[in-house]
Amino acid sequence: MQNTLGFSDLLRLIDERSAAFRAAVAAAPSLDVKVPTCPEWTLADLARHIGDGRRAWAATVAAGPATAKAAVTDVPMPEQRDELLAWLEDATAELLAALEAAGPDRGCWAWWTGSPHNAAAVARHQLQQLAVHTYDAQVTIGAAEPLPEEIALDGVDEFLQTCVTTTSPWPHEPATIAYHAAEGPSWWLRLDENGARTTSQVTPTAEGSATASDLVLFMYGRRDLSELESRGDRRVFEGLIAWEPA
C-alpha cells in the first residue's frame, strides 16, 4: 500500500499532533510524572525528546543531501511549564519551516533503508513519531485517545517501510505476516534470507487484525500481541519483535 497522505497533509498533521502533545503537557499535574509507556522517562524527558528531536531533523532537512546527520545548536529546555510549551511550539515551527522550504523531493540524510532519503519521508516519519509520543503523553495524564484514523492508516505502511525493511537476513524459516486494519486495508511483510520487505498479497504464515491505531501502537510496543486478533504461527510475530537486524 502506498503513502495515503500528501506532503501538505503531513505538515498539517505534524502541526496538529504537536499541538495535541503540548495540550497533554499543559494538563499534566507535574512534569516529573512517569510515562507509563516509556517507563524510563518522565514527562519532562519525553518533552525534551520531542523538542530536541524536531530541531535535529529540522537542521538535517535544511542541510540537504548529506552523508551524516546535521549538527544542531543546543537550545536548552526551560524548566517553567509556560516557557517549555513555547519551546516545544518553536521546535515544531522550525521543523515545519525546514520541510516547507525544502519541498517533498529534496534529498537529505536519513538512517533508514526502505524509504526515500528526502524531506517527504522525513515528514512522514516525524508525523508518526509525534502521533505515538502524543499518545504516550495522553496516557500519562489518563486521557489516552486512539491515533487519528488518517494518521494510523498511513502509519502501518510507514512503519513497515521505514522501521522494518532491511537487507539483513531473517534468522528463522521464511515467513509472511499479514496485517489487517479494521478500517479495510491490509499489508503483507515478507521475511526471508534477503531480509524484510513489504510484498503483494500472498497466503500468510501469520496474521494480525486490529484497528489501524492499535496496529501502529502494537508496532511501536504500546500494545501486546495478545491485544491483536492473531491467526497462524504466533512465533513469527514473537521472532519479529525480538529481532535486532545487524
Q: What pLDDT does 9 receive?
A: 98
| Cα(129)–Cα(146) distance, integer angstroms | 14
Question: Which of 91, 124, 100 is CA-nearest to residue 110?
Answer: 124
- Do residues 30 and 125 both lie within one domain? yes
- Do residues 232 and 162 both lie within one domain? yes
Q: Which residue has the cell 513555547?
A: 86
**Which of 145, 173, 202 marks a domain boundary?**
145
| Domain assignment of residue 1, yes or no | no
Q: What pLDDT does 3 receive?
A: 65
- Do residues 190 and 136 both lie within one domain? no
Cβ–Cβ under 8 Å, residues 162 and 219: no
| Domain assignment of residue 2, yes or no | no
Cβ–Cβ under 8 Å, residues 241 and 211: no
- Do residues 90 and 41 both lie within one domain? yes
Cβ–Cβ under 8 Å, residues 17 and 131: yes
- Do residues 127 and 178 both lie within one domain? no
The boundaries of the domain holding residue 172 are 155-242
pTM: predicted TM-score of the whole model, two decimal places = 0.96
Q: What pLDDT does 30 receive?
A: 96
- Do residues 224 and 130 both lie within one domain? no
pLDDT tens per residue across all 246 residues of the chain: 456 799 999 999 999 999 999 999 999 999 999 999 999 999 999 999 999 999 999 999 999 999 999 999 899 999 999 999 999 999 999 999 999 999 999 999 999 999 999 999 999 999 999 999 999 999 999 999 999 999 999 999 999 999 999 999 999 999 999 999 999 999 999 999 999 999 999 999 999 999 999 999 999 999 999 999 999 999 999 999 999 998
- Do residues 18 and 66 both lie within one domain? yes
- CATH number at 78 reads 1.20.120
* Counted domains in the chain: 2
| Cα(147)–Cα(220) distance, integer angstroms | 12
- CATH number at 179 reads 3.30.1050.10
- Do residues 125 and 30 both lie within one domain? yes
- Do residues 28 and 78 both lie within one domain? yes
- Do residues 29 and 100 both lie within one domain? yes
| Cα(229)–Cα(206) distance, integer angstroms | 11
What does the H/E/C string look like for the chain?
Answer: CCCCCCHHHHHHHHHHHHHHHHHHHHHCCCCCCEECCEEEEEHHHHHHHHHHHHHHHHHHHHHCCCCCCCCCCCCCCCCCHHHHHHHHHHHHHHHHHHHHHHCCCCECCCCCCCCCCEHHHHHHHHHHHHHHHHHHHHHHCCCCCCCCHHHHHHHHHHHHHHHHCECCCCCCCCEEEEEEECCCCEEEEEEECCEEEEECCCCCCEEEEECHHHHHHHHCCCCCHHHCEEEECHHHHHHHHHCCCC
**Which of 145, 178, 200 marks a domain boundary?**
145
